[in-house]
Amino acid sequence: MILNTSAHLHQLWERGCTVLGTDYAIMGGAMSWVSERNLVSALSNAGAFGVLACGSMPPSLLEKEIQATKALTSKPFGVNLILMHPELDALIDVCRAQSVSHVILAGGIPKGSTVEKIKQFARVICFAPSARIAQKLVQMGADALVIEGSEAGGHIGPVSTSVLAQEILPEIRGVPVFVAGGIGRGETIVSYLEMGASGVQLGTRFVCATESIAHYNFKQLFIKSSSRDAVASVQLDPDFPVIPVRAIANKATDLFMRTQAEVIAQVHNGTLDKKAAQLKIEHFWAGALRAAVVDGNIEEGSVMAGQSVGMVQRIQPTQEIIEELLEQACQFLEQKQHYVA
In a domain? residue 3: no
So what's the pLDDT on residue 2?
Answer: 44
So what's the pLDDT on residue 216?
Answer: 98
Are residues 255 and 177 both part of a single domain? no
In a domain? residue 173: yes
So what's the pLDDT on residue 3?
Answer: 42
Asked if residues 151 and 161 have their Cβ atoms less than 8 Å apart, the reply is yes
Report the length, in residues, of the chain.
Answer: 341
In a domain? residue 319: no
Write down which residue in 214, 243, 259 finishes a domain: 214
* 313 C-beta neighbours (distance < 10 Å), count: 10
Write down which residue in 155, 187, 214 finishes a domain: 214
So what's the pLDDT on residue 162?
Answer: 97
- Residue type for 325, please? L
User: What does pLDDT average to over the chain?
Assistant: 94
Residue 299's domain comprises 226-304
So what's the pLDDT on residue 340?
Answer: 56
For residue 111, give the DSSP letter: P
The list of the chain residues with pLDDT below 50 reads 1-4
Compute the distance between CA of residue 332 and CA of residue 335 in angstroms, rounded to an integer.
Answer: 5
Are residues 61 and 26 both part of a single domain? yes
CA dihedral of residues 66, 186, 183, 205 (deg, nearest 10) = -50
Q: What pTM was estimated for this model as a whole?
A: 0.93
The total domain count for the chain is 2
So what's the pLDDT on residue 5?
Answer: 53
So what's the pLDDT on residue 1?
Answer: 42
**Looking at residue 19, which CATH number applies to its domain?**
3.20.20.70
Summarised one tens digit per residue, pLDDT across range 61-84 is 999 999 999 999 999 999 999 999
Are residues 254 and 177 both part of a single domain? no
